[in-house]
Amino acid sequence: NDDPYAPVSPHALSLIAEMGEDTPIDWVHRSVRFGEKLAPPDTAIADLLGMHPRTLQRHLAAENTSFETIREELRKETALRYLCETRIPLTQLAGILGLSEQSALGRSCLRWFGLSPAQRRKRAHPGAGMARRPEPTDQPKPGQVSPET
């Protein structure tokens, strides 16, 4: 079959039917998100879609992208969401993103955001983790005249 988008298995037909008129990029986004971690190899995603890895590469090349580019975008989006919305430990976040260790997360965050993971998290939650002083009372400060007098 000369059609580059022709599925090669019944499993692929059912997956693609569920995905409707989406592009190969959408297929990969959904497939990568099926996993617990954002690190499945492109061969596993191609298998899930019922196609040869090279066929998947051709589909993505036709959309001017690659599996690695899509995975990197998903990692960046996921990292930002976790850093801004949770207090998950950075080692655990590295694992969720499919990175080998926390230092890989640090390098990735510097590349994506120009900040370390801790700095990016701090930007989302200014003052978080710092002890807060109690709010001042209505009592005048020493040397200040009370408005009632």
On the question of pLDDT at 30 being above 80, the answer is no
* DSSP one-letter code for 134: P
More confident residue, 116 or 42: 116
How confident is the model at residue 8, as a pLDDT? 41
Per-residue model confidence as pLDDT tens digits over 63-79: 899 888 888 888 999 99
On the question of pLDDT at 130 being above 50, the answer is no
Per-residue model confidence as pLDDT tens digits over 16-27: 556 555 677 776
* DSSP one-letter code for 149: -
pTM: predicted TM-score of the whole model, two decimal places: 0.63
Which of 11-15, 73-77, 94-98, 122-126 has the lowest average pLDDT? 11-15
Mean pLDDT of 47-67: 86
Distance CA 32, CA 48 (A): 10
| For the ranges 1-10, 58-67, 108-117, 135-144, the one whose mean pLDDT is highest | 108-117
Query: Do the beta carbons of residue 56 and residue 73 sit within 8 Å?
Result: no
The H-or-E segment that residue 13 falls in is helix 10-19
Distance CA 105, CA 116 (A): 9
* DSSP one-letter code for 60: H
Task: Kindly report the average pLDDT of the chain as a whole number.
Answer: 74
